[in-house]
Amino acid sequence: MRRGWSALAIGGATAALAIAGAANAGQGKTTSNAARARADAVVARMSLDEKILLAHALFPPMAKGKTQKELISAAGHLDGIPRLGVPTMRESDASLGVANQVEQRPGDVATALPSSLMTASSFDPEIARAGGAMIGSEARAKRFNVLLAGGVNLTRDPWGGRNFEYLGEDPLLAGELAGAHIAGVQSNRIASTVKHFAINSQETGRMVSDARIGEADLRMSDLLAFEIAIEKGRPASVMCAYNKVNGDWACENDFLLNKVLKRDWSYPGWVMSDWGAVHSTVKAANAGLDQESGQELDKEIYFGAPLKAAVEKGQVSQKRLDDMIARYLTGMIESGAYDAPVASKTVTPPYARNAEVAQRAAEAGIVLLKNEGDLLPIAKTAKRIVLIGGNADVGVLSGGGSSQVRSVGGAPVEQPLAWGGSASFARVTYHASSPLQALKKALPNAQVTWIDGRSLTDTVAAAKAADLAIVFATQWATEADDLPDLRLPNHQDALIAAIAAAQPKTVAVLETGGPVLMPWLDKVGAVVEAWYPGQRGGEAIANVLTGKVNPSGRLPITFPADASQPPRPRPVGLDRLSGLEAAAAANPAAASTYVLESFPIDYVEGADVGYRWYEKKGLKPLFPFGHGLNYTRFAYRNPVVTGGDRLTLSFEVVNTGRVAGSDVPQMYVTRDGSGAPMRLAGYTRVTLKPGEVRRVTLTAEPRVVADYDTSLPGWRIKGGTYRVALARDAADRTMVSTATLKPQTMRP
């Protein structure tokens, strides 16, 4: 089998294609030091061969010399060393549940969380933690002890194929939620990664591209997200990415691995490669890679015999090899995986209870984008409701790739792919959670029907005959392929426009990996962004549509008004890749000669990712980052901003509407006169009954207020006046105050 590891796989031929976490940090350091001392003692008793054994892990579907009884068909396997008490390692993907891509383990289901982007929409670390804890417990029940979770790459491009696996475009939000998720996973005494380190921002050419960005910009954006995630979550391992960063492969990048991660952040755990991301032995080992993953996917097993030879020749020092292994053991010891070996038999997880966790996350992450004239929640008077399209009769869409969960209830719709980078390991898959059935149950007195939307005439007639039309629009996204553009595929824009023309009460429910364009926006009454809502998505959507749940999600990513607004209108290198794919398809015998060469991607926006780019360029998006409506209204009163050492913003939130709900007030800051766009420095989620008032205080994350100064080196807060916005979203400037901060510097 497999696998879109290469940038081009066609016709069977694969072408070559310190401050925020300070409170935890002290305690964390003590446990890491103790774990490291224990790890060092174990390493001291190992032979050279035993050390080498722990430096490279198998990819079970392709591994040789092992019986299927020894292996679980999943992402990774590494034998333990019984004489020293080192446990066997079993790795599984990942952030959305225990994955089972293309059903490689027939019948092995798991609870599927919503997409990570949907979890990010909750702006609630508790939701992220609960999801992590749940999937970690299922991973353990299924005998895995390393979960390849914690995807925290910033979503720099709205068309990114893996945006659904990440936590949005803001480093503070993404970092905090990833950290909470990882901590949840590891609460089961299993190890989690944080990934993909770093700037693996697009899928097109992901195995060959070279991300170009200046150091200060990198530290203030993607690296800050990782830094915060590591502080909060203390992941046992960091997975380095496929791509190059400023000329060097991420998995042999001295700057990223040795300087930033291990020196500046004092990271104690181990660096594992992404699957098929290793390109050398000596350079990679000396640049900070500790373990080669999925060894069969690399050109050779670089950290097997070649590593042994390099150590014997002194090209990689004995000390460095010991450090590699000690880091691995430190991560396993500190996370608890070392001392809590997985059971010998699979245990069935409490799926019914776990489904509730998935549903809560979906309900907290649905974003009500538009609700003209309070069209939603569905009026009690609506008697005939027609649902249209999106396979809403049977299920909800999920994203594709290594994160794909075969959910409890199975896949009512599953379509293999004929082409594309993901064809070997992804299928368009729906989870069995039917919005139609859930709505029928929730509205027993209404007649709720579904039509597939294929015939425009029949669909328009059905919409006209109903009191309310709810159209389910879908956009499938997957690892290994970016979206070619931001339009809804398969003529869905025309379908929605035609329905809205026939039925004034039209609601669009979107199941998308990320932002889409909405040329029909003015014509529909309401728009609900339901992302990929996971295994209980149908129920969550029904609860929001009927008002049982008051929507409270906020966009963790900007929705562009048109494709030209974001820094890159389409995936860099896509034209070239498509040309090669076409040439290879036309000439299958020579397919392997069509090679996508390395190409640069210049991240011209630097640290001004997402909403900051829009502010810098004076662009008005379709929906800004942070946007989301409720069925109630919230007012903010009596804001007080203080400065000095820290910026704080204190204010009252009042639920002025008629139903209970949750609000997400946001704090944005910038130094007055700097010309820099405002940055999210704090946020919180507040749940209030009608009429209830709560005073809230937000403290700005200092590294968001600061700039990174490479000459220091470190973070520098310039003294002076700062503007502080109390806002509903990234574009809201209705409540801006100022405060003065003292100059400060912080270590990198």
Q: What is the DSSP letter of 386?
A: E
Largest Cα separation within the chain, whole Å, is: 81
- Cα of 293 vs its chain's centroid, Å: 21
Residue 289 or residue 717: which is nearer to ligand BGC going by CB?
289
Chain residues 597-636 in contact with ligand BGC, contact rule CB under 6 A: none
Residue 134 or residue 239: which is nearer to ligand BGC going by CB?
239
Q: What is the DSSP letter of 256?
A: I
The residues, ordered by sequence, that sit 6+ positions from 670 with a Cβ below 8 Å of its Cβ are 676, 677, 678, 679, 722, 723
Distance CA 133, CA 192 (A): 11
- Are the CB atoms for 505 and 524 separated by under 8 Å? no
Distance CA 397, CA 441 (A): 21
Residue 242 or residue 302: which is nearer to ligand BGC going by CB?
242
Per CB under 6 A, does 93 bind ligand BGC? yes
Per CB under 6 A, does 148 bind ligand BGC? yes
The strand pair at 210-212 and 600-602 is best described as parallel
- Are the CB atoms for 211 and 255 separated by under 8 Å? no
Per CB under 6 A, does 291 bind ligand BGC? no
Q: How many Å is the Cα radius of gyration of the chain? A: 25
Residue 274 annotated as catalytic: yes
First to last CA, the chain: 43
Residue 153 or residue 281: which is nearer to ligand BGC going by CB?
153
Residue from 252, 274, 393, 663 that binds ligand BGC (CB under 6 A)?
274
Distance in Å, CB of 588 to ligand BGC, minimum: 25
Distance in Å, CB of 47 to ligand BGC, minimum: 29
Residue 152 or residue 549: which is nearer to ligand BGC going by CB?
152
Distance CA 413, CA 423 (A): 16
Per CB under 6 A, does 275 bind ligand BGC? yes
Distance in Å, CB of 200 to ligand BGC, minimum: 8
Phi then psi for 508, rounded to 5 degrees? Answer: -105, 125
User: Hey, which residues does 635 pair with through a beta bridge?
Assistant: 654
Chain residues 4-23 in contact with ligand BGC, contact rule CB under 6 A: 5
Distance CA 181, CA 197 (A): 17
Residue from 35, 42, 94, 698 that binds ligand BGC (CB under 6 A)?
94
Per CB under 6 A, does 135 bind ligand BGC? no
Distance in Å, CB of 676 to ligand BGC, minimum: 33
Distance CA 46, CA 52 (A): 10
Distance in Å, CB of 571 to ligand BGC, minimum: 16
Size of the site for ligand BGC (CB under 6 A): 10
Residue 9 or residue 498: which is nearer to ligand BGC going by CB?
9
Token pair of 382 as six digits: 């609506």
Q: State the DSSP string of 406-444.
A: -BTT--S-EEE-SSSTTTTT-EEEEES--HHHHHHHH-T
Distance in Å, CB of 193 to ligand BGC, minimum: 7
Residue 95 or residue 666: which is nearer to ligand BGC going by CB?
95
Tell me the one-letter amino acid at 233.
Answer: G
Residue from 129, 195, 232, 406 that binds ligand BGC (CB under 6 A)?
195
Distance in Å, CB of 167 to ligand BGC, minimum: 14
Q: How many helices (H) and strands (E) does the chain have?
A: 19, 33
Distance in Å, CB of 700 to ligand BGC, minimum: 32
Distance CA 163, CA 748 (A): 28
Residue 181 or residue 195: which is nearer to ligand BGC going by CB?
195
Distance in Å, CB of 479 to ligand BGC, minimum: 6
Per CB under 6 A, does 75 bind ligand BGC? yes
Residue 166 or residue 722: which is nearer to ligand BGC going by CB?
166
Distance in Å, CB of 709 to ligand BGC, minimum: 33
Q: Please return the burial class of 173, using the count of CB atoms within 10 Å of its CB with bins 0-12, 13-18 and 19+.
A: buried
Residue from 237, 330, 402, 422 that binds ligand BGC (CB under 6 A)?
402
Distance CA 326, CA 335 (A): 14
Per CB under 6 A, does 170 bind ligand BGC? no
The strand pair at 191-197 and 526-529 is best described as unpaired
Token pair of 706 as six digits: 């600061």
The residues, ordered by sequence, that sit 6+ positions from 213 with a Cβ below 8 Å of its Cβ are 199, 221, 245, 246, 602, 603, 606
Distance CA 396, CA 418 (A): 22
Distance in Å, CB of 13 to ligand BGC, minimum: 19
- Are the CB atoms for 514 and 557 separated by under 8 Å? yes
Residue 206 or residue 568: which is nearer to ligand BGC going by CB?
206
**Residue 625: other Cβ atoms inside 10 A:** 26
Enclosing H/E stretch for 34 = helix 22-44
Per CB under 6 A, does 290 bind ligand BGC? no
Cis omega before residue 83 (within 30°)? no
Q: State the DSSP string of 539-569.
A: HHHHHHHHTSS------SS-B-SSTTSSS-S
Chain residues 30-59 in contact with ligand BGC, contact rule CB under 6 A: none
The residues, ordered by sequence, that sit 6+ positions from 666 with a Cβ below 8 Å of its Cβ are 554, 626, 680, 682, 683, 726, 727, 728, 729, 730
Distance in Å, CB of 165 to ligand BGC, minimum: 8
Residue 280 or residue 424: which is nearer to ligand BGC going by CB?
424
- Which entry of 274, 290, 323, 663 is annotated as an active-site residue? 274
Distance in Å, CB of 8 to ligand BGC, minimum: 15
Per CB under 6 A, does 298 bind ligand BGC? no
Residue 148 or residue 545: which is nearer to ligand BGC going by CB?
148
Residue 2 or residue 431: which is nearer to ligand BGC going by CB?
2
Alpha-helical segments (H) within 155-296 = 171-186, 215-220, 222-233, 254, 282-287
**Residue 645: other Cβ atoms inside 10 A:** 11
Site residues, ligand BGC (CB under 6 A): 5, 75, 93-94, 148, 195-196, 274-275, 402
Residue numbers annotated as active site: 274
